[in-house]
C-alpha cells in the first residue's frame, strides 16, 4: 500500500481527520483519528514504554483500528487510528 504524509497541527486530545482521495478515477474516503497519549496517564508500573502503550490502548474504542504509532516525546506518543470497517475495504482492494 502506498503512503502519503500530511502534517497535522499539534493539539491536545483527539483529532478526527477525514480524507477523500481519488485513485485511478475511483474516490475513496477514510476517517482517521490522531490522539496524543501522555506517559503520565500510564497508571500501571511498566518496564518500558511499549508496555505503557499496550495498557493505554487495551480498552480503546473497538470501532477504531491502530494504524500508526508516531515518534514519542518525553511527554507523549501520538497514535493514529483508522475506522475499522474502512480499513478492511482498503486492504481488500490492495490484495493481489
Q: What's the rounded Cα separation, in Å, for the pair 53 and 25? A: 39
Contact 28, 90 (CB under 8 A): yes
Contact 68, 78 (CB under 8 A): no
Return the higher-pLDDT residue of 25 and 7: 25
Q: What's the rounded Cα separation, in Å, for the pair 69 and 1? A: 17
Mean pLDDT of the chain: 80
C-alpha gyration radius of the chain? 15
Instruction: Please tell me the predicted confidence (pLDDT) of residue 83.
Output: 87
Is the Cα dihedral 50, 52, 58, 60 positive or negative?
A: negative
Instruction: Please tell me the predicted confidence (pLDDT) of residue 20.
Output: 76
Q: Which of 48, 57, 51 is nearest to 79 (CA)?
A: 57
pLDDT band (50, 70, 90) for residue 69: very high
- Give the model confidence (pLDDT) of 36-68 as tens digits: 888 888 877 767 888 889 888 988 999 999 988
Is the Cα dihedral 23, 3, 16, 80 positive or negative?
A: positive
Helices (H), the chain: 49-57, 84-94
Instruction: Please tell me the predicted confidence (pLDDT) of residue 67.
Output: 87
Amino acid at each position: 500500500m502506498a503512503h502519503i504524509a500530511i502534517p497535522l497541527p499539534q493539539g491536545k486530545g483527539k483529532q478526527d481527520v477525514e480524507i477523500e482521495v481519488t485513485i485511478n478515477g475511483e474516490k475513496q474516503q477514510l476517517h482517521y483519528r490522531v490522539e496524543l497519549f501522555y506517559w503520565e496517564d500510564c497508571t500501571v508500573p511498566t518496564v518500558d514504554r511499549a508496555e505503557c502503550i499496550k495498557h493505554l490502548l487495551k480498552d480503546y474504542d473497538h470501532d477504531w483500528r491502530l494504524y500508526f504509532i508516531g515518534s514519542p516525546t518525553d511527554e507523549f506518543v501520538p497514535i493514529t487510528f483508522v475506522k475499522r470497517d474502512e480499513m478492511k475495504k482498503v486492504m481488500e482492494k490492495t490484495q493481489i
